[in-house]
């Protein structure tokens, strides 16, 4: 399986069909809660793999001083640009196409107080290189907020999901809808309609968490390719050994583990 999943189309559909002021607010609240801050005043925010752009918008709402969002997929770039326009097209927020594996491009960006890359680096085809490239963009004393698919929680097995993804990416629209239905039945409802209340709770938690939509995330999960899994402790060790980054906090138990690191150098 060599093709890339068309992430941008999924994000464009998310913004067209699910964007709301409530999701916008949830995204900003969740971002600040994980960072343990009241706002992002005075903070430069680099969003690597901005997707829908909702979290760049969250940084804007949290009063970040400067925002730069980039994504590999042109439709993600366009969708992020749309949310930027919705915010009044601020000059301090730039959006463009870029690749986290392109070192020349990254070097031109300089370093940032807060480098954010949620659910992106494991979709590049070279996860550890992508983590390293992104970490180089963190300014001395700055923060690094990333989320990666965890090999510690994946069920059934990574091989099982690899096969599902291969079939989903090779499928046409109708077959994809069927596979989405299969996923909701088997993993959302656990094969029983009696679990509907739990599924509805999960859908609401997704929205209250990062302002996301359950079905957008289901498609992203089934399609998301290339993809790799990371062992939580291996990520912590890698960033300690290579960059001397300190782990500030980590949230585990979901498909993606969230990590917040600080670059102690230059204090
Ligand atoms: C699962 S989405 C996450 C989007 C967003 N960060 C969020 O949390 O909602 C992954 C995004 O990473 C982007 N991406 C994949 N490979 C990339 C690369 N090499 N450089 C930059 N962005 C990339 C995809 O196009 C997609 O928009």
- One domain for residues 129 and 60: yes
Are 90 and 205 found together in one domain? no
* Number of compact structural domains in the chain: 2
Burial of 189 (0-12, 13-18, 19+ CB in 10 A): middle
Nearest atom in ligand 1 to the alpha carbon of residue 101 is 19
Q: Which of 31, 46, 47, 51 for mutating ligand 1's site (highest number of atoms within 8 Å of CB)? A: 51
Q: What is the pLDDT of residue 1?
A: 54
Examine the domain organization and report whether 124 and 182 are in the same domain.
no
DSSP string, 134-173: HHTTEEEEEEEEEEEEBTTT-SS-HHHHHHHHHHHHHS-H
Cα–Cα distances (Å) from 69 to 29, 54, 115, 116, 203, in that order, read 19, 11, 10, 10, 27
Domain annotation covers residue 267: no
Tell me, yes or no, whether 124 and 26 share the same domain: yes
Tell me the two tokens of residue 35.
């960072």
198 Cα: distance to centroid of ligand 1 (angstroms): 29
Lowest mean pLDDT among 65-69, 114-118, 212-216, 247-251: 212-216
Per-residue pLDDT of 138-178, as tens digits, reads: 999 999 999 999 999 888 888 899 899 999 999 999 999 99
Return the pLDDT at 228: 92
Strand boundaries in the chain, DSSP class E: 44-48, 66-71, 93-97, 112-118, 138-149, 246-251, 256-262
Can you give the pLDDT at residue 210? 86
Q: Which tens digit of pLDDT belongs to each residue from 177-229?
A: 999 999 999 999 999 999 999 999 989 887 878 888 899 999 999 999 999 99
Confidence band, pLDDT 50/70/90 cuts, at residue 32: very high
Range of the domain at 34: 7-152+228-262
- Domain-embedded: residue 37: yes
Best residue for ligand 1 mutational test, from 8, 31, 55, 71 (most atoms within 8 Å of Cβ) = 71
46 shares its domain with 114: yes
Query: Are 125 and 214 members of one domain?
Result: no
Q: Are residues 85 and 145 in the same domain?
A: yes
Q: Are residues 98 and 209 in the same domain?
A: no
- 136 with 256, same domain: the answer is yes
**The model's pTM:** 0.94
């Amino acid at each position: 399986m060599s093709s890339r999943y068309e992430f941008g189309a999924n994000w464009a559909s998310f913004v067209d069909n699910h964007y709301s002021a409530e999701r916008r607010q949830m995204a900003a609240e969740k971002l600040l809660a994980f960072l343990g801050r009241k706002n992002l005043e005075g903070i430069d925010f680099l969003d690597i793999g901005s997707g829908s752009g909702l979290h760049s918008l969250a940084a804007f709402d949290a009063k970040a001083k400067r925002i730069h969002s980039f994504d590999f997929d042109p439709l993600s770039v366009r969708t992020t640009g749309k949310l930027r326009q919705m915010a009044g097209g601020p000059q301090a927020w730039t959006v463009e196409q870029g690749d986290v594996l392109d070192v020349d491009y990254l070097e031109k960006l300089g370093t940032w107080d807060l480098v954010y890359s949620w659910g992106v680096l494991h979709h590049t085809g070279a996860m550890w290189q992508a983590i390293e490239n992104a970490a180089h963009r963190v300014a001395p004393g700055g923060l690094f907020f990333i989320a990666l698919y965890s090999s510690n929680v994946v069920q059934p097995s990574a091989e099982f999901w690899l096969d599902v993804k291969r079939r989903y990416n090779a499928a046409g629209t109708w077959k994809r809808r069927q596979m989405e239905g299969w996923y909701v039945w088997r993993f959302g409802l656990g094969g029983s309609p009696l679990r509907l209340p739990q599924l509805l709770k999960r859908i609401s938690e997704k929205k209250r968490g990062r302002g996301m939509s359950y079905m957008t995330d289901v498609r992203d999960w089934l399609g998301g390719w290339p993809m790799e899994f990371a062992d939580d402790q291996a990520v912590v060790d890698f960033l300690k050994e290579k960059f001397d980054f300190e782990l500030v906090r980590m949230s585990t138990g979901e498909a993606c583990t969230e990590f917040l690191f600080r670059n102690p150098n230059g204090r």
